Structure 1
Amino acid sequence: MNNFLKHVQQLQSEPAVKVSTSRTECPYCSVQCTMNLHEEQTIRVSRYSISPNKADPVTEGRLCVKGLQAHTHAVDDRRLRYPMRRLLGRLSPVSWDDALQQIKERFEALKETYGPDSVGVYGGGSLTNEESYLLGKFARVALQTRYIDYNGRFCMSAAAGASNLTFGVDRGLTNPLSEVPLAKCIILAGTNLAECQPTIMQYFRKARQEGCKIIVIDPRETATCSIADLHLKVRPGYDAALVNGMLKVLIEEGYTDPEFIERRTSGYSELAEHISKVSLTEVAELTDIAPELITEAARMYGRAETGLVFTARGVEQHASGVANVRNFLNMVLVTGKIGKPGCGYGAVTGQANGQGGREHGQKADQLPGYRMIEHPEHRAYIASVWGVPEEELPRKGVSAYEMMEAIDRGEIKGLLILGSNPVVSNPNAQLVEKALRKLEFLVVIDLFESETARLAHLVLPGSAYLEDEGTITQLEGRVMVRRAVKPLPGKARLDWRILCDIADAMGKGAFFRYRNAEEIFNELRIASKGGKADYYGMTYDRLERQHGMFWPCPEKGHPGTPRMFGESFGHDDGLARFAAVEHQQPKEGTSGKYPYLLTTGRVLQHYLSGVQTRNTPELNSKYPEPMMEIHPDTAGAIGLVNGGQAQVTSRRGSIRLKVKLSSKIRQDTVFVPFHWGGEQCINRLTHHALDPVSRMPEFKVCSVAILPG
């Protein structure tokens, strides 16, 4: 041990021989903070650190704890460095030639035996736009399968569905963040910005300093509540009912904008008729929010000259997620608070490229530019860009969780997964693991041996954000270029290059001849031209010079579109659509056997399924395991103590968790973060009921039993 310490001290005392600084972007949340990577090379080792980019016009030099440690996993010695093939139950290194030959033989054999739809593709919301675009093309041209979807289905699909139905266009934020301080009332529904997107909290604090009233709607008193004037601690699953109550106050007390409703919307009379039958007393009983507080919240928003409404997973991750969001959009439209400075709606994207990831073709029903795969004109246009007959393009597939069910039924025999960990991120996770074990051939491209990679027949070493090059579309709809700043480790390859190599091995290489990511982007620009998400006017040069551009940007001289819907909406008639939304409730209620409600979410130190952050010691040490947050009175009635163990059981499974007492949560509800796998995976308990429009699962509420563990 003494010799080891001396060796470490010797390395630390060596003079630096080379110091370099590179500009990059954080790989985590949708804010995409820019930052500086510092590399100090000595004779024997390289040391890395990160500092904020103080010139960043969005975050103004702020980084959260994840951003400050974002380099750690990318330079970790445990990174996958070689293709690994499973032999006799163990992964062993193989050459790239052998790996590609195996993929060719196994996938072609499955397609020949069972048809092209026997092979599927599963992507991720943190891939670049170029990789997302290429993955969709790869599935439909190289594999010719209809089965492709991605983990972004679990992020913003409900908000996307609601925005498309209401506005005719889905862009996460209708306004740039710079307009947040212009709002005189802000509603934050089911979003914990302080822990999930902390670097943009500055905008909301500034708004409050300017006199803005902030309403937080959440079953928990989160860190975001520190800026709230009013916190509505709604019963999980009853958001739409709460908004019906607020709409009743807005309409009956005259906080509507009749001129806007008449000129720019349709369907208002149906909404008004529906709301006239709503009972505020019934809403209060369903939501467990007093009528006086519902009225106060509605008046705050209704009286404000300007206002913004933000939703996130707390509202969206329900089997009624689209209906929930549509009702919040009703509130935006009925008051005319959209298309003007400080007036609009924002779905707070979770993943790094959650916005761009769903625009260019890795969703089951979409083609690049937010075109729809079942639309004849959209199919014909993309087929012409790709140089394939339109009739050879597959039809639409199914959503992410439904793909797992199709695997379990034996309909999908082979699967390629890029940048995702579905064993942890899907609901009803035990079924998902069982299904993936049934696959005849599973290929996983990732950075580490994730829970999903441990099930794979072949694991390929992909690229981290420091090695990747490409564009990301962050939560505002701002497209930004991220440059590569480090070489790949070992024999790892760029994710987009791996897809091209597989396509080439399968005889489809002529469709995937790219020398760099910019060439892919230039094809994406053409593919998106004329679509809802039109990137045609953007170039890498323009994006870098302007620190990103907002889509739509239809022509090369176009400045981009920071604020949406100033003149018209995205439907053919230019009008937004109201929808009468009935009270929604969870698909699974409490009972004598399962008397408590479980809700899930994030913690500040971790990201998604934890593959990156659990491999970052500084972050993992601060939150090393999931804890069940429970009210002290509830815990006392069960016999639980702070720091003790609890057995949590739903109709789908059971896990043991450490107890964390908190008076900031409802007494009928417990909260557990979802960043862990294996025996600590809370998604072994969550409900797999799906939204009828978006196919979003019911992550945010299910009934559970709790016993001392």
Structure 2
Amino acid sequence: MQQLLNRKPSLKPGTQVDTQCPFCSVQCKIRLTRNEPVPGERRPSYTVEGIPNKASEGRVCVKGMNAHQHVMSGERILQPLVKINGKLTPSTWEEALTRIVDNFVSVTERHGADAIGLYGGGSLTNETAYLLGKFARIGLGTRYIDYNGRFCMSAAASAGVKTFGIDRGLTCRLEDIPKAKCLILAGTNIAECQPTLMPYLTRAKENGTFIIVIDPRVTGTAELADIHLQLRPGTDAALANGLLKAVQLGGWMDEAFIKERTNGFAELEKHLESVSLPEIAELTGLDQALIEKAAEQYGRAETGIIFTARGVEQQTDGHVAVRNFLNLVLATGKIGKPGCGYGAVTGQGNGQGGREHGQKADQLPGYRLIENEEDRRYMAGVWGVEPDSIPRKGVSAYEMMELVHQGTIRSLFVMGSNPVMSNPNADLVEEALENVEFLAVADMFLSETARMADVVLPVTAYLENDGTLTNLEGRVLLRESKIEAPGEARHDWAILCELASRLGKSAYFDFESAEQIFEELRVASKGGVADYYGITYDRLRREGGVYWPCPSVDESPGSGILFEKRFAHPDGKAIFFPVPSRQPQEVPDEEFPLTLTNGRVLSHYLTGVQTRRSATLAARSVDNFVEIHPKTAKAHRIEDGDMVEIRSRHGAFSVRCKVSAGIRENTLFVPMHWGGAQNVNKATTPELDPNCKMPGFKTAAASIRPLKASML
């Protein structure tokens, strides 16, 4: 698309800026320097180096090394776009904002405020996430707000709340990893998703740590394992039952810890009477002796940590699957001390902070609950409104798309997300967005969703805006910028303030900087589970990062280890929860004989909107692919490199084939970073976890067939 503006230089030759990577949850600190020009070279060159910090220890992965490339991309949206005669056309901010506000007012008058939906993202700063939630509830008065983090952390978050009384990604520190005598990595491929954390694992290995990896594929992470439990996709909860049973039979449960610090063990013990190790082995597709050996290593170990990620969590029983791994943590007493704990390895850059301060349908800032009357009164006092004026809870992200499809939500505002790609059942979502009355998108690029919009607003990139983000440890970090925004791009929080002003709500959104927003966020979170009150920008500049909860500015940042003496439930005890073993949500049959699962590759991030605009990263992984076992490929008359169609009960897509002995037979693995005809989510199931509304991305029953050259 032709742009009418030229982009201003972002960084002058010879200058540098300290920032942090916009991608994964490690949030590595980096220093970007624009090099002096070289005679004859047309393109500017940059040097990227890591800055020492507590999480990445100064390391940077290939994504962080090249993150600046998408910021400098010629595809950046430089001014607002409005749809005229079916085509997005450059416009003024006045016209674009007027269109959005006029629509909001019209829809509210005709159908009520709940006919408007807001859809946020897990890479937004804490300040913007907070303001987006406030804008939904106070600026518009709608109950319908949720975000793409629903597809990332909701299973682990809800499990942590039920079991421990609190959700923070890691209950321990990253520095505890090498101190653990046993590590269980369940459904997490750190080597590709959080590669700067791999040295923690290699140090652990050097210290003699026994590493157990649970994954249907032989990944870079699995190659470190002493035991690789290459289970059948969708049977993680059953495997955890097998591990619990073996630990019980081996006498490796910590009876004193169970008695003093937990509730509900009697129910779990009764449940384990019905657990049969041979049945677990058959259900999971694993050797019973291997399950017993893994259980012995973890059970006997003096210290141990269990990490889970999307492989376990992105299932329709993801909530209870995580709870079952937490049962294993509690049963062995491996929590609340150095070298012990549980961690949900967050995926998105601000997946932790993004879910703490009001983007989720059922939450208010500080992890307060929107249906809790005391929490509503507190937030009403902070915002200067009546408690009854705050809307009640809405629905989850995919359920919002269903409401758009049904016509209940008639106007949708999307900020920092690409729902047409990231949602399951993508064909339904695409149809919904094609037919919605009005769609506005705030983004840096014309994502697959933005191309469908009636109005597109250009926003600043990570090098151009200020704000805080919370990494996977629960450590709040400050990202500051000294780079001028290109063209007419505006900060996302500033856009929300302007829209609120035009809606007559300027008194509630009178902010001139991200720091001012954070000052209100501090008060909003005060006394909540995720208490940020003791954190300030000045403190973050001095200390580099501060763990929450931090209720006082005079308080030390804490050790980073949670639950040393008590859990966060009122009685201070954690809760066991019996979990049944079950078949995967979809079981292969004659028509769909394979299991389709999805995930990530090293060079891309989420739906690829940013990484596919980096020449270096895009060149590493140009197109999508399906990984398939040689025996499965042979049975379906497929050869390496063939184009294939993969079909499920929900839809179909086409990709190129990669034959690999590192995946289970009858299992297909497809990355999630490509859209259009290569979008794996065209075939994923819309079924949701009943506890946390996480879609079941990992176990769609599928078929595969080669596409002949004449058909392409």
Give the equivalent residue in structure 2 for 1:8: none
In structure 1, give the amino acid aligned to 2:600.
R
Aligned counterparts, 1:656-671, within 5 A:
656-671=654-669
Q: Are 1:36 and 2:47 matched, yes or no?
A: no
Aligned counterparts, 1:213-232, within 5 A:
213-232=210-229
Answer whether contact 1:239 1:584 (CA < 8 A) is retained. no
Distance 2:266 2:659 in 1: 47
> CA offsets per residue over residues 410-437 of structure 1, 9 Å max, x none?
1000010000000000000000000111
Alpha-carbon offset, residue 53 of structure 1? 2.3
Give the equivalent residue in structure 2 for 1:3: none
Alpha-carbon offset, residue 17 of structure 1? 8.3
Q: Are 1:70 and 2:67 matched, yes or no?
A: yes
In structure 2, give the amino acid aligned to 1:595.
P
Give the equivalent residue in structure 1 for 2:652: 654
Give the equivalent residue in structure 2 for 1:581: 579
Distance 1:547 1:701 in 2: 41
Alpha-carbon offset, residue 93 of structure 1? 1.4
Alpha-carbon offset, residue 102 of structure 1? 1.2
In structure 2, do the counterparts of structure 1 residues 312 and 331 end up closer, same or farther at CA, with 3 Å as the change threshold?
Answer: same
Alpha-carbon offset, residue 41 of structure 1? 6.2
Answer whether contact 2:188 2:345 (CA < 8 A) is retained. yes
Find the partner of 1:19 among 14, 19, 28.
14
SS in 2 for 1:47: coil
Give the equivalent residue in structure 1 for 2:6: none
Answer whether contact 2:186 2:213 (CA < 8 A) is retained. yes
SS in 2 for 1:130: helix
Alpha-carbon offset, residue 18 of structure 1? 4.0
In structure 2, give the amino acid aligned to 1:225.
A
Give the equivalent residue in structure 1 for 2:423: 426
Distance 1:504 1:50 in 2: 41
In the alignment, structure 2 segments of 5+ residues that lack a partner are 1-10, 708-712
In structure 2, do the counterparts of structure 1 residues 34 and 296 end up closer, same or farther at CA, with 3 Å as the change threshold?
Answer: same
Distance 2:12 2:691 in 1: 58
Give the equivalent residue in structure 1 for 2:593: 595
Aligned counterparts, 1:604-643, within 5 A:
604-643=602-641
Alpha-carbon offset, residue 584 of structure 1? 2.9
Answer whether contact 2:120 2:129 (CA < 8 A) is retained. yes
Distance 1:481 1:612 in 2: 21
SS in 2 for 1:19: coil
Q: Are 1:316 and 2:313 matched, yes or no?
A: yes
Answer whether contact 2:17 2:481 (CA < 8 A) is retained. no
Distance 2:327 2:91 in 1: 56
Distance 1:584 1:489 in 2: 53
Find the partner of 1:293 among 265, 290, 294.
290
Answer whether contact 2:215 2:222 (CA < 8 A) is retained. no
Answer whether contact 1:40 1:46 (CA < 8 A) is retained. no
Answer whether contact 2:366 2:531 (CA < 8 A) is retained. yes
Alpha-carbon offset, residue 576 of structure 1? 0.2
Distance 1:41 1:411 in 2: 56
Answer whether contact 1:470 1:482 (CA < 8 A) is retained. yes
> CA offsets per residue over residues 553-607 of structure 1, 9 Å max, x none?
0111111331101111111111100000001322211000000000000000100
Find the partner of 1:517 among 514, 526, 529.
514
Find the partner of 1:417 among 414, 421, 426.
414
Give the equivalent residue in structure 1 for 2:4: none
Find the partner of 2:108 among 111, 135, 138.
111
Distance 2:589 2:693 in 1: 26
Distance 2:701 2:496 in 1: 42
With structure 1 as the length reference, what TM-score do the two structures score?
0.97
SS in 1 for 2:329: helix
Alpha-carbon offset, residue 544 of structure 1? 1.6
Give the equivalent residue in structure 2 for 1:485: 482
> CA offsets per residue over residues 614-658 of structure 1, 9 Å max, x none?
111111111111110000111011100001111110011111110
RMSD: 1.2
Distance 2:123 2:449 in 1: 17
Distance 2:512 2:506 in 1: 13
Answer whether contact 2:12 2:34 (CA < 8 A) is retained. no
> CA offsets per residue over residues 77-109 of structure 1, 9 Å max, x none?
210010100001111111111111111111100
In the alignment, structure 1 segments of 5+ residues that lack a partner are 1-15
Answer whether contact 2:350 2:469 (CA < 8 A) is retained. yes
Alpha-carbon offset, residue 54 of structure 1? 4.2
Q: Are 1:233 and 2:230 matched, yes or no?
A: yes
Alpha-carbon offset, residue 45 of structure 1? 7.5
Find the partner of 2:550 among 546, 550, 553.
553
Find the partner of 2:330 among 319, 330, 333.
333
> CA offsets per residue over residues 200-242 of structure 1, 9 Å max, x none?
1111110111110000000001110121100000000000111
Q: Which moved more, 1:231-240 or 1:648-657?
A: 648-657
SS in 2 for 1:223: coil
Q: Are 1:435 and 2:428 matched, yes or no?
A: no
Find the partner of 2:492 among 487, 492, 495.
495
Q: Which moved more, 1:254-263 or 1:347-356?
A: 254-263
In structure 2, do the counterparts of structure 1 residues 48 and 128 end up closer, same or farther at CA, with 3 Å as the change threshold?
Answer: farther
Q: Are 1:345 and 2:305 matched, yes or no?
A: no
Distance 2:556 2:54 in 1: 17
In structure 2, give the amino acid aligned to 1:330.
N
Distance 1:40 1:507 in 2: 47
> CA offsets per residue over residues 87-145 of structure 1, 9 Å max, x none?
01111111111111111111100000000000010000000000000000000000100
Alpha-carbon offset, residue 438 of structure 1? 1.6
Q: Which runs of 4+ in 1 moved over 6 A?
A: 43-46
Find the partner of 2:121 among 121, 124, 142.
124
Alpha-carbon offset, residue 48 of structure 1? 4.5
In structure 1, give the amino acid aligned to 2:220.
A
Q: What number of residue pairs does the alignment pair up? A: 694
With structure 2 as the length reference, what TM-score do the two structures score?
0.96
In structure 2, do the counterparts of structure 1 residues 46 and 382 end up closer, same or farther at CA, with 3 Å as the change threshold?
Answer: farther
Give the equivalent residue in structure 2 for 1:685: 683
In structure 2, give the amino acid aligned to 1:20.
T
Q: Are 1:248 and 2:251 matched, yes or no?
A: no
Give the equivalent residue in structure 1 for 2:533: 536
Q: Which moved more, 1:78-87 or 1:33-42?
A: 33-42
Distance 1:537 1:298 in 2: 41
Q: Which moved more, 1:293-302 or 1:559-568?
A: 559-568
Alpha-carbon offset, residue 278 of structure 1? 0.5
Answer whether contact 1:35 1:50 (CA < 8 A) is retained. no
Give the equivalent residue in structure 1 for 2:58: 61
